[in-house]
Amino acid sequence: MLYVIGLGLGNEKDITIRGLEAVKRCEKVYMEAYTSLLSFGLSGLSTLEAMYGKAITVADREMVEEKADEMLAEASSCDVAFLVVGDPFGATTHTDLVVRAKKMGIEVKVVHNASVMNAVGVCGLQLYRFGETVSIPFFTETWRPDSFYEKIQRNRNMGLHTLCLLDIRVKEPTLESLCRGKKQYEPPRYMSINTAIDQLVEIEERKESSAYNKDTICVGLARLGSEDQKVVAGPMGQLRNVDFGEPLHCLVITGETHPIEEEMLDFYKLQSQGPFEDGRNAS
């Protein structure tokens, strides 16, 4: 059996009871470590191991994408848990893993949990008013992609909000090492809301059309699900100057807003004195 288990967004305690029971039944436990991370990062792996009572093998991108057959071979003869921060299907890589397992005749059970795709609703924007989600990659000196711009524009034209997931680069080989044939890796990088806005503004400035501008109301969200989550709403041009702190970050570009949505956003406005000023869920 292969168990694909969502861990939620905060810390080791966010796993569901069903998920915890499954982990404790498994002989091997892997944790995916490149599409997201818990609030304490990989340094807190021992905390997870202590709570779950199992040794955990960190599964990096190379292992999941290139050596998954080894893990699946184990699942053909014993129970294996594959832990995913957030919900198991928050990344296409995990869907691919399930497809490969099923093709090998391995039974798969999925245990769901909270993810950024629904936790973003804490800001008050209604989930059914979101359009297509986009991912914003880091610019480089020679690569400044903007294919997601048209998706944002379509969402805005339909009055829909856009969730922007920001780039995570963990264990990425350097170009120089690839040329030499011996991989060396870049330090981990997590895109900030500030960097995302800088890139969005650059793209907007070189486009003839207009999907957004510096006055477009956006919502910056950092460390969703953790005790110190931060949520700030305001014009794009002002949010780029806000210190959102440690990763992970995401950004919402608003579309048309309902009066109830606007009331909730007021709690998160820059210089707000409301009960949501520090970005924590009042509950």
- Confirm whether 275 is domain-assigned: no
Residue with more model confidence, 245 or 11? 245
SS3 231: strand
- Confirm whether 279 is domain-assigned: no
Q: Is 225 labeled as ligand-binding?
A: no
Helices (H), the chain: 17-25, 45-52, 61-66, 68-75, 92-103, 116-119, 149-157, 175-180, 193-206, 236-239, 259-268
How many residues in total does the chain contain?
A: 283
**Residues 133, 254 within the same domain:** yes
Give the predicted TM-score (pTM) of the model.
0.88
How many structural domains is the chain composed of?
A: 2
Domain that holds residue 41: 2-114
- Confirm whether 229 is domain-assigned: yes
- Confirm whether 272 is domain-assigned: no
Residue 7 DSSP one-character state: -
Whichever domain contains 100, its CATH number is 3.40.1010.10
Average pLDDT along the chain = 88
Tell me if 197 sits within 8 A of 239, measured CB to CB. yes
Q: How far is CA 185 from CA 136, 178, 216, in A?
A: 21, 10, 37
Q: Which range is least confidently modeled, 39-53, 75-89, 136-150, 203-217? A: 39-53
Average pLDDT of the segment spanning 225-230: 92
Average pLDDT of the segment spanning 179-204: 87
Q: How far is CA 72 from CA 3, 26, 122, 145, in A?
A: 11, 13, 37, 35
Q: Is 20 labeled as ligand-binding?
A: no
Distance CA 83, CA 33 (A): 9
- Confirm whether 192 is domain-assigned: yes
Average pLDDT of the segment spanning 216-241: 95
Q: Which residues pair with 50 in a beta bridge?
A: none
Average pLDDT of the segment spanning 173-185: 67
Q: Is 112 labeled as ligand-binding?
A: no
- Confirm whether 277 is domain-assigned: no
**Residues 199, 76 within the same domain:** no
**Residues 157, 177 within the same domain:** yes
Confidence band (pLDDT; 50, 70, 90) for 274?
Answer: very low
Q: Which range is least confidently modeled, 79-93, 137-151, 206-220? A: 79-93
Q: Is 116 labeled as ligand-binding?
A: yes
- Confirm whether 181 is domain-assigned: yes
The two three-digit tokens of residue 136, written as one number: 């914003």
**Residues 98, 146 within the same domain:** no
Q: Are strands 80-84 and 134-136 parallel, antiparallel or unpaired?
A: unpaired
Q: Is 90 labeled as ligand-binding?
A: yes
